[in-house]
Amino acid sequence: MMPRVKRVLVVIAAFLTASCVAAFVITFGMLMEWQEILAGTGAGWLTLAFFSLIVSAKALLPAMALIALTEGLRIRSSLFYAVSGGLGLVALYYGLGLADRDVTLGRDLEIMAGAGIAAGFVYWLLAGRKAGCWREPEAPSVRS
């Protein structure tokens, strides 16, 4: 029972950290022209926290389903997590109605895809490398 609780806590912490990484990439990419916001004042960190909260809240249910799938199937590929993160944030961007329907590729979509890839990779570093480790190892069959 204890390895499962520990694993759930690791997954939650990894998801929140990955959301902060995605928020940082989005904030840095979208607001790069507004350097006074990202300067040493508290406004840059407030913007980062705001984007992190939105990214985490909106991506929570799809991410939970994907995390449950990867844990159950023991998927440990960094490429899978990076691609899933990139596709997930691009889909979230379209789902929130932020993208122009006529544009299939643009700076905003590139930033969202990059943020998703970065978040997926960070999640893999913290939790995805050991997906499914909470299961008891299968006992080897003894033949007599």
pLDDT in tens, 41-62: 666 667 666 776 777 788 888 8
* 144 in a structural domain: no
Provide CB contacts within 8 A for 48, sequence distance 6+. Answer: 20, 23, 24, 27
pLDDT for 3? 73
Task: Quick: pLDDT tens for 84-110.
Answer: 999 998 888 888 777 766 555 677 788
* 116 in a structural domain: yes
Closest C-alpha among 18, 50, 49, 44 to residue 31: 44
pLDDT for 142? 66
- Name the H helices within 31-77: 42-73
Q: ∠ at Cα 59 (87, 44), nearest 5°?
A: 100
Structural domain harbouring 40? 2-60+68-130
* 96 in a structural domain: yes
Weakest-pLDDT range from 17-26, 33-42, 130-139: 33-42
Q: How many domains does the chain have?
A: 1
